[in-house]
Amino acid sequence: MGRILGDIFSFGDRPVSERIGFIVFILIILAFPWTVKLAYARAVMIKFLLFALFGLGWNLIGGYGGQVDLGQAKNVGFGAYATALMMFHWKIPFWLTVVPGMIFATAESFAVAYPMFRLRGHYFAIATLCVALVWKELFVFWDWTGGARGVEIPIKSTPNFAYMQFGAVGYHYFIFGLFMAQFLFMNWFRKSKLGYELQAVRDNEDAAASLGINVTATKVKTYCITAALGALGGSFITVYYLYIDPDLVMPLDLSILIAMTVMVGGAGSIWGPIIGAAILIPLDMYLGAWLAGGGRYGIDFMIYALIIMIIAAREPKGIWGIVERIKKSR
């Protein structure tokens, strides 16, 4: 027990500069709502934390596992819909809806994982994409889930902690809490037995198998954990927006954006998803809003696309890869 706790909170393997940097980052986030009063900036901050959370989850399968999963949006959708439907149909408080959503996402991922992991590379990526799109079509088709119209959560007149409805500052600390919990989980995971096995599988499957690692079981376990983490973020989306539909919580663009934040920041590193989200989300929200105001759509995604192409062609390890290389060369 003590060892697990130690692994969760210990950053002993990271250099002092990184540890100081992370503490500064935490302090900035904590002080943010007290210093910035602009509603839009607060919304940007919450979305950044949300995508950093998504990125941390996806980094498991995509970064540490090296499996390009382009279907994370389906898990976000499961979480969001579990919360929304249970609140809407049965008035169940938020806190009791999170775990069922995570369980559903895990179970679904477990069910498709075994056939899926017979595939590698492109075949796997396209298969994840197909499964996610099938689920989206089913949710559009199905009446009980609100179909294409989506689900609207009844708004409470006063701040309510059972249904998690309160102002922007509350959501800021709420998502930050979820983010920190997941970050600490990741910090434990990367040093756990499964974490090391996973990285061995990523680097060389045959060598990992010859060391007695069950390659498929390792991938399947990771895939299921990733799914559960995605569903957690989805539940937050429901109470934050108080409205969901398949185009909001399950679109392909969401899967892509999650994967891209990790790729841009640096897949397979603990800081990568945070760096990626810190670059892409403000870019999207400020540039996108500014240009859409002038009637121009899409330039934010064009810049994303350029960044991702340059990174794929020049620096597949992302921005964190550049940082590490500079450090080594000094």
Partner 1 sequence: MLLPFVIITDLRKMELAIELILFGILMGLIFAFISLGLALIFGVMNIVNFAHGEFLMVGMYVGLLTSTYLRLDPFLSLPIAAAMGFLLGIASYRLLIKDILRGPMVAQLFGTFGLMLFLRYLAMFIFGPDIRTVSSGILVGKSVSLGWVALDLSKVVAAGLCLGLFVVVYWIINRTKLGRALRATSLDAEAARYMGIDTEKMNALAWGIGGATVGIAGGLLAHFYYITPTVGMVFILIAFATVALGGFGSISGTFIAGLIIGLIQVIGGQYLSELKFTFIYLTYFLTVVFRPRGLFGW
309 lies in the binding site for partner 1 (CB under 8 A): yes
Can you tell me which of 95, 184, 298, 327 binds partner 1, judged by CB under 8 A?
298
What is the closest distance, in whole angstroms, from the C-beta atom of residue 250 to partner 1 in the complex?
Answer: 14
Closest CA to 98 of 87, 108, 109, 88: 87
Give the contact letters, 25-54, x = binds to partner 1 (CB under 8 A), - = no.
------------------------------
Give the whole-angstrom CA distance, residue 270 versus residue 221: 19
For partner 1, which residue of 19, 91, 296, 325 counts as binding (CB under 8 A)? 296
Question: Which tokens is 7 given?
Answer: 């692994």
Measured from the CB atom, the residue of 64 and 179 that comes closer to partner 1 is 64
DSSP string computed for 51-118? HHHHHHHHIIIIIIS------HHHHHHHHHHHHHHHHHHH---THHHHHHHHHHHHHHHHHHHHHHTT
How many other CB atoms sit within 10 Å of the CB of residue 293?
8
CB of 251 to partner 1, least distance (A): 10
Do residues 284 and 93 lie in contact, with contact meaning Cβ atoms separated by under 8 Å?
no
Q: For 243, phi and psi rounded to 5 degrees?
A: -155, 135
- The candidate with the shortest Cα–Cα distance to 127, out of 142, 117, 139, is 117
Compute φ and ψ for 18, nearest 5 degrees: -70, -40
Q: Compare residues 68 and 103 and give the one whose CB is closer to partner 1.
A: 68
Site pattern 123..162 for partner 1 (x: CB under 8 A): x-xxx-xxx-xx--xx-xx---------------------
User: Can you give the length of the chain in residues?
Assistant: 330
Q: How far is the CB of 71 from partner 1 (least distance, A)?
A: 11
Q: Does 220 bind partner 1 (CB under 8 A)?
A: no
Cβ proximity to partner 1: between 45 and 129 the closer is 129
Cα 240 from chain centroid?
16
**Is there binding between residue 73 and partner 1 (CB under 8 A)?**
no
Q: How far is the CB of 106 from partner 1 (least distance, A)?
A: 20
Around Cβ 50, how many Cβ atoms within 10 Å? Answer: 21
Please identify which residue in 119, 180, 200, 323 interacts with partner 1, judged by CB under 8 A.
119
- Toward partner 1, which CB reaches closer, 20 or 138? 138
Contact residues toward partner 1 (CB under 8 A) are 66, 68, 115-116, 118-119, 121-123, 125-127, 129-131, 133-134, 137-138, 140-141, 252, 256, 259-260, 263, 267, 295-302, 304-309, 311-314, 316
